[in-house]
Structure 1
């Protein structure tokens, strides 16, 4: 991923937390006719540096992941269109254009398939338990009949990625002047939308590179 220095996020703990809060990733692998992708929920095993997910056995993509094939997983967070009308520079010299602010994390590494029943059940438990952890009455895989879950598990394939490259990009107006940044924050907040407030807060949290 192209990352200018002022947009780079290199703190591993921040990147890990981003994955936990935006767990729906896009897994990209080389296919017979070029890149192939699948949108999948991931579980991060931070201590081991691993990402785990599963996909339908009917999805041909998993066949591309044999022999430790390298894959890329992208995670995308808050994003928003930025109009040049919000920039103080527009009133000064009008030499401004629109842009798009966004946050993203890329993780890459070799993929390993796991298909045995025990490993798949362990994965389903860890993934579900993590996603249900914020619920006042969390649902557990064990709440469903065992034979039913085991039957469904036969229709999936597990994927484990050993992450050897992890990078983050927070493009949130750090390259603009303080006056422009304040204008963008005010403009986003004035929209009154969740996405607007979320991006405004990200800009507040990051210092200008200028």
Structure 2
């Protein structure tokens, strides 16, 4: 992924934020005559406290055509992406004076490389289902639980899926939210996005620039 230095996020915490808040990822593999294959799975982050190893886990349909390329594959690419938005030149306050602005598109993304393996184990899959559901139901007044469904029904449904585990080897993370712009223009973008009812991107712009300013302050002190 192309990442200009203004947009580079090297802290794992920011990559983890994208994984947990935008769990639907694109999983890319290459396999024999089929070539490049891509599918979209909701993935859950897990860390082994004893070894420090980081994992992404999921459940996928046993009939999925990507299954063969996910079995013991050491070259997996997983892509997560945040809310994103077109950025109008009209957001920039100085545009009215100089008109020297063009549109852009703001987003955050993390690319993860790792090793995959399939796990056809009832307990692994059930634990993943429970953990993912708990994460996604969090904040609801009455969170739904997997156990609310009849067990015979759950067992029948679970026969059609298999567990997927991806051990994370490396990551590259990009937050492109106006960090190269003067503060006046950044504030204009934050305000413009909020007024256009894009609060998620407005907040991402705000927090990304707060981190950038803190980083710059630490570097000069």
**Runs of 4+ with >3 A deviation:** 88-95, 207-210
Q: How does 1:22-101 map to 2 (within 5 A)?
A: 22-31=22-31, 32-47=33-48, 48-101=53-106
TM-score by length of 2: 0.83
Structure 1 residues not aligned, in runs of 5+: none
TM-score by length of 1: 0.87
Worse overlay, 177-186 or 32-41? 177-186
Q: Deviations over 1:85-126 (max 9, x none)?
A: 333443444332211011112222010100122322222222
Structure-1 residue corresponding to 2:186: 181
Change (3 A) 1:137 1:94: closer
Which whole-Å CA distance do the structure 2 matches of 1:19 and 1:57 have between them?
A: 24
Q: How does 1:1-210 map to 2 (within 5 A)?
A: 1-31=1-31, 32-47=33-48, 48-191=53-196, 193=197, 195=198, 197-205=199-207, 206=209
- Size of the aligned set, in residue pairs, is 207
CA shift, 1:56, in A, is 1.0
Structure 2 residues not aligned, in runs of 5+: 217-221
Check conservation: 2:72, 2:118, Cα contact below 8 A: no
SS of 1:39's equivalent in the other structure is strand
Q: Deviations over 1:122-151 (max 9, x none)?
A: 222222232233333332222222222122
